[in-house]
Amino acid sequence: MEIRQLGRTGVRVTELCLGAMTFGREIDEQESRAILDRFLDAGGTFVDTADVYGGGASEEILGRALSARRDGIVLATKFRMPMGDDPNSGGASRRHIREAVEGSLRRLQTEWIDLYQIHCWDPLAPLEETVSTLDDLVREGKVRYVGASNFTAWQLAKALGLAALHRWEPFASLQPQYSLACRDIERELLPLCRDEGLAVLPWSPLGGGLLTGKYRRGEEPPPQSRAGDSTPSSFLMRERLKEEHNFAVAEAVGKVAAELGKSPAQVALNWVLTRDGVTAPILGARTLEQLDDNLGAIGLTLDPELERQLEDVSALELGYPYEFIDWITRR
């Protein structure tokens, strides 16, 4: 795999990141370890999880599986989602961050976390409290770098501004949703990350399975598909299935894949992988077959005409003021 810099940090990661959301939740430990081993054998070194995945089971499985080879892995996890019924068991307060990091360190069986990310914006916690606490964790050596996920551009910019003002550790990365079925970050988030040098680690690069051809117009989602569970990603998937535009994008991906003799997943993943500013898309696999198929996206080169077909059918309507600024700039 190609090696890329993690934003402006000195850390290098592989061009694909293995997401462990399925570990301990949708697949058992034996299957999880098989997928992890296959990814590492393929040259992967970058692994992402979260404390909430499987109620901590994902981190526990990774902790047992990686204990003997921790030094060769760039390990990322996230906090913010509720881990229990207590009103303080989630969020981005100093209290919860302190509890969350200790829990993750224990479950992961490690002395440090390479990339510690806030899983989503918390409107209840003062941003100064969140960013200053993350800075403390870096200074204490429990965390090497910090990042954000599911932030708007103004929220991310404010966090970066606070870090610069107070000389706190700035976010090194953003983990946003990004695929041919969801290009919204191209309005502000992706340009902001490019300008500030943040690594971009897209989740759901296959549109929750939509771009693999798994879902069909007018048909119920297949059993055990992403659209059938009760997670936030399931809600997003069901919303996608209501939009005709998304099926048009999926069909275009399928046509390009057929012309290249590749799978739709490989084409869709390669498109994300090769976008300017993207560091490492996050793969989520339930089976070894899915992982092997995704790994086939590496090294694929899309003909400019085929790439144009994908860009045209999935084009994002930028709206005001983005289109106005672009028009003035090009005059």
Instruction: Give the Å distances, CA to CA, from 301 to 11, 39, 160, 256, 304.
Output: 26, 22, 35, 12, 9
How far apart (Å, rounded) are the C-alpha atoms in residues 197 and 199?
7
CATH code assigned at 236 = 3.20.20.100
pLDDT of residue 227: 59
Which tens digits make up the pLDDT trace of 11-68? Answer: 999 999 999 999 999 999 999 999 999 999 999 999 999 999 999 999 999 999 999 9
Longest CA span, the chain:
59
Does residue 217 have a pLDDT over 90? Answer: no
- What is the domain count for the chain? 1
Whether 231 shows a pLDDT value over 70: the answer reads no
**Mean per-residue pLDDT for 179-199?**
97
What gap in Å lies between CA 263 and CA 206, rounded to an integer? 12
pLDDT reported for residue 226: 61
DSSP state of 152: -
pTM across the whole model: 0.94
State the pairing for strand pair 199-200/171-175.
Answer: parallel
Q: Are 3 and 199 in contact (CB under 8 A)?
A: no
The catalytic residues are 53
Question: Please, are residues 328 and 320 in contact by the beta-carbon 8 Å criterion?
Answer: no
* Residue ranges making up the domain that contains 134: 3-330
